[in-house]
Amino acid sequence: MKPDSALDGNIPVFVFPSSINFYLEDYSSHKQVLTIYNPYEFPLRFKVLCTDPRKYNVIDPEGCIKRGCCIDIVIRLVAVNPAYLNRVDTFRIQMLDQGSKQILGKRDVLATFFPGGSPESSKHPQAENEEFKSLPGSGNVSSSSADRSRQGQHKQSHSGDNRPQGMVNKANEPNKLIMLGAAGVCIAALLLPLQGDTKSIIPPDLHVSVNLKLLCAYIFGVLTILIVRS
């Protein structure tokens, strides 16, 4: 499937990241990766251009991307010269038709060379020439000591959980008593005779209506659920 001729020179080009930064004192930043995406239903060719190519080394600056795929482009800063600090260069990513090599779209990515170190490296400083050595006794640690450590942590976690749980239970006791009292009132109302019942020995003033009994039955059901859950 070929790209529509109406899109020639106008298709969007998807590149991540949109800009790259190099830092003088952070050697890990001298290698950056650009990811070029091809979300279309046809293969595309790509070509990487630069305003100052003598300062950079780009591995595989040209190639083909299959449909629905992406490719990583490695860019290395080779001219680590303080004279280039704070200068901005531009990498242009061109997308071309597979057969005719006609330019279908382009995207510019800015590259800046900053002094000092990167913000990420300053947050997590690392010592140069680190030499890692084994800790004393780390080669033959008994399983029993490790088990005791895990058991101690397990007990601490449980003891820490029990204290707040007990406090929560104490805080919930007054609410539970209120719900039990309300449930008792509902039961008493349900046991009273209906209005108009002449055979009951209970005084007529204590007779309740059908609507009131239905309301008490509903409230009693809700309270029962809340009491069981608490």
User: In this model, does residue 83 exceed pLDDT 70?
Assistant: yes
Report yes or no on 177 lying in a domain.
yes
C-alpha 19/C-alpha 21 separation (Å) is 7
- Of 37-41, 67-71, 90-94, 156-160, which range is least confident? 156-160
- Please indicate whether residue 163 or residue 34 has the higher confidence score (pLDDT): 34
pLDDT in tens, 197-219: 777 777 877 787 878 878 888 88
Indicate whether 81 and 13 sit together in one domain.
Answer: yes
Q: What is the pTM of this model?
A: 0.50
Indicate whether 112 and 36 sit together in one domain.
Answer: yes
How many structural domains is the chain composed of? 2
Report yes or no on 129 lying in a domain.
no
Indicate whether 76 and 181 sit together in one domain.
Answer: no
Task: Specify the pLDDT at position 36.
Answer: 96
Indicate whether 110 and 180 sit together in one domain.
Answer: no
Kindly list the distances between the CA atom of residue 17 and the CA atoms of 36, 109, 212, in Å, as whole numbers in the listed order: 9, 8, 69
Phi-psi region of 224 (alpha: psi -120 to 50; beta: other; left: phi over 0): alpha
Q: List the domain range (segments joined by +) for residue 72.
A: 5-118
pLDDT in tens, 138-189: 444 444 544 554 555 555 555 544 555 555 555 566 677 888 888 888 888 8
Q: What is the mean pLDDT of residues 60-82?
A: 94
CATH of the domain at 12: 2.60.40.10
Indicate whether 12 and 113 sit together in one domain.
Answer: yes
- Please indicate whether residue 166 or residue 58 has the higher confidence score (pLDDT): 58
Kindly list the distances between the CA atom of residue 64 and the CA atoms of 35, 72, 96, 99, 102, in Å, as whole numbers in the listed order: 13, 12, 9, 11, 14
Indicate whether 89 and 182 sit together in one domain.
Answer: no
Kindly list the distances between the CA atom of residue 73 and the CA atoms of 24, 32, 70, in Å, as whole numbers in the listed order: 21, 8, 10
Report yes or no on 96 lying in a domain.
yes
Report yes or no on 51 lying in a domain.
yes
pLDDT in tens, 88-111: 999 999 999 988 889 999 999 999
Report yes or no on 220 lying in a domain.
yes
Indicate whether 106 and 204 sit together in one domain.
Answer: no
Report yes or no on 72 lying in a domain.
yes
202, containing H or E segment: none
Report yes or no on 163 lying in a domain.
no
Helix, strand or coil, per DSSP, at residue 228: helix
Report yes or no on 143 lying in a domain.
no
39, containing H or E segment: none
Task: Specify the pLDDT at position 26.
Answer: 92
Indicate whether 92 and 188 sit together in one domain.
Answer: no
